[in-house]
Amino acid sequence: MVPTAFVRLEVLPVTANGKLDRKALPAADLTTGGTGRGRPPETHTERTIADLVVAALGLDPATELAADDSWFRVGGDSITALTLVRLAHGAGLSITNRDVFEYQTVEQLASRADSNNRGRDESSTFMTPLIAAELSANKAPNTLRHSYIVELPGDVDRERLEAAINAVVARHSAFGLRLHRDTTSGDKPVLIDVGLTPPEPLDHVDVTDVQSIEDILELERRYADELDITDGPVHRSGLITRESGRPLLVWTIHQFVVDRPSRAILLDELGDTYARVIDGDAPASSDDTVLSWMQNLSGDASSSEVAEDSSDRGCAHDAYDTVLCVPTDLGTTIDALCGRAGIDIGVALGGAAATALHRAREGGGNPVSPDVLLDVERDGRRAQSENQRAVGAVGQFTELHPTLIAVPTDADSRGLDIVAAAYAGWNAHQPESVHADAAFSFSGVTREDSATWPGLHGLPDVVGAGDHAGRLRHRITMRGSGTAGTDGVAIGFTITAAPSVDSREIEALWSRFLDSLRRIADDLVALPDAAAAVSGVVPESRAIAPLPTHHRLRGL
């Protein structure tokens, strides 16, 4: 880091132990940081940015900044940048911490703010199928939320923690989602992106107000009552300090903004960001795609068909449609065991489908690559590389775009099914809150030569997906939906196959699928407790999800 100013001292102050006494160091005089030279701010945004810089740094209000004055030249740093961003949001200007580092002068930052604001099209409305289903089933959408309780170190700094939380929130556009009514279309509910919003304060809750877990739950309920998906806020947080024991962070976020996998992403980012704030570094940026995913998906919100439309794949593929009735005894056994292990029946079927596709590489036709991508609903998170399972974006991806998993070729076939099912079980939306006949849908993909498709940039034929060259590389796409009933499990499938896949491969796929289901049943019988442990799912009677030990914040 480059020093903003130099202060000459005859002698450095030291403590009684002979160490540098930082508290006794004189503050640098930055009140004249503005040069006043160069072109004065001309546009409204430039004048606003200049005023906000003066306010964020606590400079003399009479300080005049030039358009080419640099944030760091006048005394700014990574910590005060958080204050500048907060003030800018309050003034209706969309800038991020990264913008402050990349566009350092008043002129550059004002231009960036204008560009960001133009990029927010608040007239663009959308609605996703599952959120529409949630609204239909739940007349009080503000009650839907995810809450986290996190144990923190005793020396956590509340102001820096608040700055870190707001920096993480500012990085993810899902926090800008709001639910409105479209008066031009019969007052139907629509989602809009309002962009960056003013940061939320971090409450400080004294130990005297929290004597038991019930007090913590009451605090969580109070935060939940304050959530408003229409006007905001969509998240609330509080820091509980205790006489004995570590401080606790309670963070409640609306369900339309995050999903269960978002917890690990948010908390890991929070720990990293807190450490960066402490070290004086700029918080890391994030490529967030949740809004574009939602907007793409909303165009097909009225469609619930699972049949493939091969016309947009760029080459001829054959479609095979069938309904497979799993034997009653097997279906009933799996259904009951999934209940014991905390895994949805649809997830178990999805795990079997992923494994069947994985084993398809052993059949005829061209060899396929090692990975199988399992998607426990219609779409999935984009994987950015061969080694990354899910993109690090926060949003309602579980309910909207479930997480993808990669099945390695060297996985033990005996344990492969249960691992796939258990991992997906952690990410799967509970079917009772969706349409009853939508308890199970998935997409499984095998890929040909990975060298021709170096990155995983999307799934084939997903609803509303953009054009991806990778679509032409998929040999087999397996999608379906099904339900469990008294007569067994009925599953409807559509398989779209490349010309190189013959009917014998398709027949072998059914056989492998049933075999995978039986393996899952065997694994669940033997390892019901282990299945729940692997999935990370503990049957919850409360709204607050437990935080696994390995998810304690990094950097804290």
The better pLDDT of the pair 133, 418 is held by 133
Residue 234 has pLDDT above 50, yes or no: yes
Return the CATH fold of 125-285: Chloramphenicol Acetyltransferase (3.30.559)
Residue 330 has pLDDT above 90, yes or no: no
Q: What is the pTM of this model?
A: 0.46
Q: Residue 236 has what pLDDT? A: 94
Mean pLDDT of 273-295: 61
CA distance 420 to 352: 8
Residue 64 has pLDDT above 60, yes or no: yes
Q: Residue 284 has what pLDDT? A: 53
Residue 448 has pLDDT above 60, yes or no: no
Report the b/e string of 318-345 with b at 16+ CB within 10 A.
eebeeeeebeeebbbbbbebbeebbbbb
- Contact by Cβ (8 Å): 94, 195: yes
Residues with Cβ < 8 Å from 298, sequence gap 6 or more? 126, 127, 128, 191, 464
Q: Which amino acid is at 99?
A: D
Q: Residue 140 has what pLDDT? A: 75
Q: Which CATH number fits domain 317-536: 1.10.12, 3.30.559, 3.40.50, 1.10.287?
A: 3.30.559
Q: Residue 235 has what pLDDT? A: 93
Phi, psi of 494 (to 5 degrees): -125, 125
CA distance 378 to 301: 11
The better pLDDT of the pair 408, 91 is held by 91
CA distance 93 to 442: 41
Mean pLDDT of 132-161: 78
Q: Residue 142 has what pLDDT? A: 81
Most confident of 38-52, 319-333, 367-381: 38-52
The better pLDDT of the pair 354, 425 is held by 354
Residue 251 has pLDDT above 80, yes or no: yes
Is the bond preceding 233 in cis, omega lying within 30 degrees of 0? Answer: yes
Q: What is the pLDDT of the chain when averaged over all its residues?
A: 59
Most confident of 64-78, 113-127, 317-331, 408-422: 64-78
Residue 159 has pLDDT above 60, yes or no: yes
pLDDT band at 4; cut points 50, 70, 90: low
Q: Residue 137 has what pLDDT? A: 61
CA distance 398 to 204: 31
pLDDT band at 271; cut points 50, 70, 90: confident
Return the CATH fold of 36-119: 1.10.1200
The alpha carbons of the chain give a radius of gyration, in whole angstroms, of 27
Please write the tens of the pLDDT for every residue from 174-205.
Answer: 888 888 876 666 667 777 777 666 778 999 88
Name the percent of the chain lying above pLDDT 70. 38
Most confident of 72-81, 403-412, 490-499: 72-81
Note whether 36-119 and 125-285 share their fold: no
- Residue 101 sits at the vertex; the CA angle it makes with 64 and 35, to the nearest 5 degrees, is 20
The better pLDDT of the pair 2, 91 is held by 91
> How many Cα neighbours within 13 Å face the side chain of 353?
32
Q: What CA–CA distances, in Å, run from 326 to 230, 330, 344, 492, 515?
A: 44, 7, 16, 11, 11
* Strand (E) or helix (H) holding 110: helix 106-119
Most confident of 10-19, 34-43, 50-59, 346-355: 50-59
The better pLDDT of the pair 424, 192 is held by 192
CA distance 450 to 460: 15
Residue 215 has pLDDT above 50, yes or no: yes
Tokens of 510: 């059914």
* Domain map (residue ranges) of the chain: 36-119, 125-285, 317-536
The better pLDDT of the pair 480, 532 is held by 480
Please write the tens of the pLDDT for every residue from 296-326.
Answer: 545 433 332 222 222 222 233 344 444 444 4
Residues with Cβ < 8 Å from 181, sequence gap 6 or more? 187, 188, 189, 190
Tokens of 358: 């994985």
Residues with Cβ < 8 Å from 44, sequence gap 6 or more? none
Mean pLDDT of 521-538: 40
- Contact by Cβ (8 Å): 535, 423: yes
Place of tokens 């060298």: 451
Residue 398 has pLDDT above 50, yes or no: no
- Of 126-135, 150-159, 206-215, 304-313, least confident by mean pLDDT is 304-313
